[in-house]
Amino acid sequence: MAEFVRVASSTSSHTMDKSITLPPDEIFRNLENAKRFAIDIGGSLTKLAYYSTVQHKVAKVRSFDHTSKEATNENLYEISVQEEVTARLHFIKFENAYIETCLDFIKDHLVNTETKVIKATGGGAHKFKELIERKLGLKVDKEDEMTCLIKGCNFVLRNIPHEAFVFAKHTESEYRFQTTQPDIFPYLLVNIGSGVSIVKVESEDKFERIGGSSIGGGTFWGLGALLTKTKRFDELLQLASKGQHTSVDMLVKDIYGGSYGSLGLTGDLIASSFGKSATADKEFSKEDMAKSLLHMISNDIGQLACLYAKMHNLSRVYFGGFFIRGHPVTMHTITYSINFFTKGEVQALFLRHEGYLGAIGAFLKGAEEDNPNQYSWGENYAGSSGLMSVSPDMNPMQRARSGTFDMLEMDRLERKLVNLPLLQDASSYIPDTVDLIEDAPAREYWLFCFEEALDGVVKRAVASQPEMPEAAERAEKFRQKYRHKLQTLRHQPFAYGSLTVRSLLDTREHCLNEFNFPDPYCKIKQRENDTALKYYQKAVKSLDGLSWEQRQFALVRGVLAGNVFDWGAKAVSDVLESDPEFGFEQAKRQLEERPWLIDSYDQWYERLKGPPHKCALFFVDNSGVDIILGVMPFIRELLSRGTEVVLASNSGPALNDVTNGELQILTESIAAMDPVIQSGLKEDRLICVQSGSSSPCLDLSRLDKALAMVVRERNIDLVIIEGMGRAIHTNYYAMLSCESLKMAVIKNSWLADRLGGKLFSVVFKYEVPITDDHEAALAP
Amino acid sequence: MASNGHQRDDESIDEDETPTKQPRSDREMPGCFRYEPDNEAAAPAGRATSHRQTSNSTARLRSDSVKKTRPPFPWFGMDIGGTLVKLVYFEPKDITAEEEQEEVENLKSIRRYLTSNIAYGKTGIRDVHLELQDLTLCGRKGNLHFIRFPTHDLPAFLQMGRNKHFSSLHTTLCATGGGAYKFEADFHTMADLQLHKLDELECLIRGVLYIDSVVSSGPSECYYFENPTDPERCIQKPYTLENPYPLLLVNIGSGVSILAVYSESNYKRVTGTSLGGGTFLGLCCLLTGCSSFEEALEMASEGESTKVDKLVRDIYGGDYERFGLPGWAVASSFGNMMSKEKRESVSKEDLARATLVTITNNIGSITRMCALNENIERVVFVGTS
């Protein structure tokens, strides 16, 4: 049943909270451009949603006109910083007690007068209708609660990677995040409000309430209040987490003296909830009764959910509602129950943004004319609070959260993102190699590593905007924000879903963008590109002088040496900072000699003797030496063999990775020097496409739709992934349905150590998919 | 339920007792409640169809050999549950003068004690209204008595058994329920009694089938309600378990077990719930201070659950049409008790009623799902709660 609980205290506490002041930069951000409001008022929490546009700076590159004779400028292209407007969704969650203060704040900061309506849902919507209409001057338009809930659920499942998780108490990582499924339907949503609604969702618009139960959160709260004289829901949960249910419940062993072996019922199972309170006159502790009640209700809901899941043959069951809402205690008991009743066949799934579903859904209803579902959206790590820990150990009194405002911000992505069609099994694909939630030593190391690198990033950010005097101040804000994120993650590694090197890098990019440092490495990239271009012809010429066999190896070594030039790796950036003249040849000398750490060069070489590939997709990495002297000669050879080449590069900047904009210009200018590249471009056998990503890593399940289309059209039969971020931190274990080549130089001694190598060890992983009729040798 | 049995050592009994041999092993028949088939309707799978015999039809089966192998009196069956001990006692009414003379004093005293009282100690009760008279059992005619007492008073029962020198009767007590396992040692040490332990579910199924087969007069053992949602037109209707399979058997004791029964020996426990009679009583005790099941039920019959529960109309002002939920449906059991004012305005009776409604609705809901999942249309609810 719907979440609806009247909190006796909420009305009376309106006045006392008027004194709080809201910092406008942090909460209800971008209100000046806000439109399309929606509000979801539950029993104790209000969730506000609005759509806004954010103006921020982006770095653009533009080719100089080199035909004019007055080319005094040595640079190949110019960098300009432009203003760009992007769409962002804001969701804010706060206690109902603050609703009046918040409405006043919104009124004061709301500029957009076109907004006439606010979509409202949740049981409290009608209670506060008058207040909202009076304060905001907007017409409250009510939306069906369950419809909003489902719409919101579909939205987060589709757009937020690692939205769903299973909860495993007593393990190193309690939160186990699930990978986003290519198809989110069908699923079962069990919403535990005051009662329970069980909804089967079959598609975006097709869902049905297939069942429910009156024994829900309201039963726990109401019955709990009667039994323990404890009024607050949170306090009841606190009591329950301290209690022992065995003194109140009658267990199988209380009846049998042990287990009921023939039925496989163990002695510790509850035979009768509250069964012992029926036979004794003795007093029971509040804690024990609360615990028993919690078990009774969780088990009952779990059992019904299982029965419905079984009947409708559904294996994905999500739980939500205020009974769950991030409480480890209830997540654990529900998980236990589901496990018990399905013998582990069905896992209870929870959602990171479960509390926002209604508000998101109501918002989407109001924004239907903008058709938000045609876009891809991404969680903005800089603007979102992440999952708060409500575990009693870490946060003894949950009420301490009072007054905090939880936020979720989502950016509308320029491009629609889809799976790489070449993934062997999209539903089991996990981009990240190491889950830092589970791997505590790795987590320690990388958090330390990113913290240590922060000074350098700040310095680089300031240096990228020499003409802007306030850059230092902004950079300092960036430092604080990112450091705070790192601290949060140290305590709550699960805050933003799986914690990975990729997520740490992405969070840093989001924070940099937040403070208008769109491309801190633009100047470095420009300089390095210009320099490397000068050596291109020489490099190609020396390669052409080699025998075929020697050349194949030299090309691979070239790519690897080029990959050493990575400003993201401290070991390298220190060298580059101190020695700007550090060159390609030096890099080659740094490389590990064969046999490499991972070495399937021989297989690759054998393959090259065979027929040429039809078309290769190359996910490139860094600017400068890497792309120009490493990658370009390599793909030049592929083109000469008759293989078409698709160069996939980042849509937006990340570290010194080459962006699609830059790569277009570079390719053109190389084409001017090199007839092979020239004809490749002209004959459409060489194309540059953007990946849709702005990360130093690569998530093959979130790629630009246009790229996916190219992949299909060109019948790609070879995927090359280059660099530590794309081939080691991510995709190291990615299985593709065509041949693949993963090349990277390990530029971090800790990681090298982990993988059993040393600094500048080489990973050269050539893989052929195993098929029934083609038992090709797999790379080691 | 099972009577005090005899450990079979005489294999000839089948031939003596059942002229038409049934494909049933002795092991399945540890007690002496046997269903002798009608001679003319001895279909192999039709065991269930042949249960409806009157006591007259078995009379002729009495023979010397039956007498010889028949277990000695007294005949008892015990079910020791988590909350209640259920005891059946067969009181023979066809005792011959010869037998009367042979009968030892201890046996007489037990018979007299049990049949002349309707209450035993502080908590033992004989449900006189359930008594089955003129029953023929193993060739003997008599009355079947139903006695119950709380499991926590088992020590007093054992003490009584000891005082009445029960063990001198050399009888083996057939017992089922968890307590048969839990208290086996106590029976031995406190009362010098040996328990013959029998599987709970097997006994349950046989008991259901037996009781349905022997109750031929008076109110039907198995019944259902017609027009259950209309108090005006709701009537109790008899239902016969002549062709009972497949059957969903819901046993509501302290907890609840749900069995899918395909034949007398082919059954499985589908699921169960810990929200059962023990929960009803336990919560009622805590919420109202009552101390017995009867008291709790009495209170429940006088209360109003809608004051305690939050109904759909309390939330939506009426029906929730989007999902076809009527306004009167319970949205949240005890949901109104989240509010302090409402907590202060409800009576103990209301709370007892709400507890009853919560538990019964829940059992109903789980049962319905099981019936659908198992594709079984017939559901029989049994149990001491």
Cβ contact, residue pair B282, A300, below 8 Å = no
% of chain B beyond a pLDDT of 90: 50
Which of B254, B271, B375 would best serve as a mutation to test chain A binding (most A beta carbons within 10 A)? B254
Q: Tell me which residue of A303, A218, A287 sits closest to A248, measured CA to CA.
A: A287
Question: Which chain A residues are Cβ-neighbours of B323 within 8 angstroms?
Answer: 146, 197, 209
Question: Which chain A residues are Cβ-neighbours of B283 within 8 angstroms?
Answer: 223, 274, 277
Calpha distance B377→B371 (Å, rounded): 6
pLDDT digits (tens, 9 = 90+) for A415-426: 889 999 999 998
* Confidence grade of residue A673 (pLDDT, cut at 50, 70, 90): very high
Q: Quick check: pTM over 0.90?
A: no
B269, B343, B358: residue with CB nearest A263? B269
* Confidence grade of residue A278 (pLDDT, cut at 50, 70, 90): confident
Calpha distance A19→A162 (Å, rounded): 38
The residue ranges of every structural domain in chain B are 75-202, 243-303+348-385, 309-345
Calpha distance A234→A418 (Å, rounded): 41
- Phi and psi at residue B256, to the nearest 5°: -130, 135
pLDDT digits (tens, 9 = 90+) for A505-519: 999 999 999 999 989
% of chain A beyond a pLDDT of 70: 91
Residues 38-67 of B with CB under 8 A from A: none
Instruction: Tell me the nearest-neighbour CA distance from A338 into chain B, angstroms.
Output: 13
Name the pairing type of β-strands B75-80 and B172-176.
parallel
Q: Tokens standing for A465? A: 């905007």
Alpha helices in B39-153 (DSSP H): 55-59, 64-69, 97-102, 105-116
Calpha distance B273→B42 (Å, rounded): 39
Instruction: Tell me the nearest-neighbour CA distance from B146 into chain A, angstroms.
Output: 21
Q: In terms of CATH architecture, what is B243-303+348-385?
A: 2-Layer Sandwich (3.30)
The reply to whether B322 touches chain A by the CB within 8 Å rule is yes
Say which amino acid occupies A159: N
CATH topology of domain B75-202: Nucleotidyltransferase; domain 5 (3.30.420)
State the ipTM, two decimals: 0.81
Residue A635, SS3? helix
B282, B287, B369: residue with CB nearest A276? B282
Does position B7 have pLDDT exceeding 60, yes or no?
Answer: no
* Catalytic residue positions of B, numbered: 200
* Confidence grade of residue B231 (pLDDT, cut at 50, 70, 90): confident
pLDDT digits (tens, 9 = 90+) for B89-145: 999 999 888 888 888 888 888 888 999 999 988 889 999 999 999 988 888 999 999
Q: Which DSSP letter does residue B336 get?
A: G
Asked if B75-202 and B243-303+348-385 have one fold, the answer is yes
**CA B240 → CA B43, B137, B221, B243, distances in Å?**
19, 21, 8, 8
Torsion sign over Cα A676, A677, A678, A683? positive
% of chain B beyond a pLDDT of 70: 81
Longest dimension (CA), chain A: 102
pLDDT digits (tens, 9 = 90+) for A289-327: 999 999 999 999 999 999 999 999 999 999 999 899 888
| Residue in the block written with tokens 């306090």 | A235
